[in-house]
Amino acid sequence: MHALITGATGFVGSALCRRLCLEGHIVSAFHRPTSYAGGIADLPLITLTGDLTNSESVERAVEAFRPDVIFHLGAQMTAAPTVNRIMQVNVLGTRAVLQAAMKYGVRRVVLMSSACTLGMPELFRNHDRAPVIINEARVQNAGMPLWPFAESKYLAEMEAQSAAAKGLDTVIVNPFMVIGPGDWYRRKRSLLMQLKQHAPMLMVRGGINVISLSDTVTGLINASVYGKSGERYLLCGENITFMEFCRLCSRAGGFEEPKLLFDNELLAGLMSHTRSGRELRLECLDESVYRCADRYFYYNPKKSRVVLHLSRQENIADTIDNTYRWFEENA
């Protein structure tokens, strides 16, 4: 297989490049000229620089490499100077990749999206019951608007669905939170390091789905082989509460775990008082964490594990431990 990977120098992109090279595939890497390429510098691959917001550079890459499969991972994830930049990269960039793929006869495009495109889970206050587990059939709730990144990825998925309707073989994969060694871009800014540097004394109710980098890469590769065109697949790891996630991080990172569990309204009051927030070390509980309070981002892995032939996945506690070890070694 000849694979073209956009976002090839990113956290997941560089790991995917490495795995495909080790398996003997021909790999072409597309990334911005300013990207840090240390994660793929030692790999036997072909590189071409460009920008997803420049459709001509995207077309040149596809025309030059003529890949069998495009893994479209390139995206603007963190806050950009303007929301417009996020939309340009994630939506128009995806459109440029899909148009080039159709023009030059690419067999399949695998789009890495995000589980957050399925929408914000409803507030969950009855903690005597089990939270609702979301699957691929969930329809985005227009009554609860997405944040800019999630909205941009949702629109990117619409581009992929439109291309599939026109005959391009496209598959979408949706992880939620990916962790693992090798995150060069966020050695100091990752959630794991923020928890260690500003260990909070309290945590909110709610939960997330966490998947290892290794399992994410396996899911992407298997999607290129077994996925059905026009379908989306949740790449699921472990559904885990925020509190338990922090406990695992504290054990691996060597810091004090949260002692208190707060509901949304109580946290809002504490965060509005600077002195209380400082005393409880709430620096890493920013607006995004507050927005997720009392919500469970729990996802059902059944469809992806069956269709994409995914086996038993990596233990999240081991993944967190290995990630902290890597951060310490590469600080």
Does the pLDDT of residue 270 top 60, yes or no?
A: no
Does the pLDDT of residue 89 top 60, yes or no?
A: yes
Question: Is 75 inside a domain boundary?
Answer: yes
CA distances from 175 to 114, 189, 219, 232, 308 (A): 5, 20, 9, 11, 14
Does the pLDDT of residue 331 top 80, yes or no?
A: no
Confidence of residue 11 (pLDDT cuts 50, 70, 90): very high
Task: Show the CA angle centred on residue 315, arms to residues 312 and 317, nearest 5°.
Answer: 170
Kindly give, in sequence order, each residue whose CB lies less than 8 Å from that of residue 62, ignoring residues fewer than 6 positions away: 4, 70, 97, 100, 101, 103, 104, 106
Q: Which domain holds residue 165?
A: 2-183+210-237+298-313
Question: Is 214 inside a domain boundary?
Answer: yes
- CATH code of residue 136: 3.40.50.720
pLDDT at 246: 93
Residue owning tokens 């790991």: 15
Question: Is 201 inside a domain boundary?
Answer: no
Question: Is 195 inside a domain boundary?
Answer: no
Question: Is 122 inside a domain boundary?
Answer: yes
Task: Show the CA angle centred on residue 93, arms to residues 87 and 99, nearest 5°.
Answer: 135
pLDDT at 125: 74
pLDDT at 275: 47
Question: Is 287 inside a domain boundary?
Answer: no
Confidence of residue 81 (pLDDT cuts 50, 70, 90): low
CA distance 96 to 56: 8
pLDDT at 262: 66
Question: Is 328 inside a domain boundary?
Answer: no
Confidence of residue 265 (pLDDT cuts 50, 70, 90): low
Interval 236-254 mean pLDDT: 94
Interval 111-125 mean pLDDT: 89
Q: State the total domains in the chain.
A: 1
Strand pairing partners for 171?
Answer: 110
In angstroms, how far is the first alpha carbon of the chain from the final one?
36
Lowest mean pLDDT among 31-35, 44-48, 270-274, 323-327: 270-274
Interval 116-134 mean pLDDT: 84
Question: Is 129 inside a domain boundary?
Answer: yes
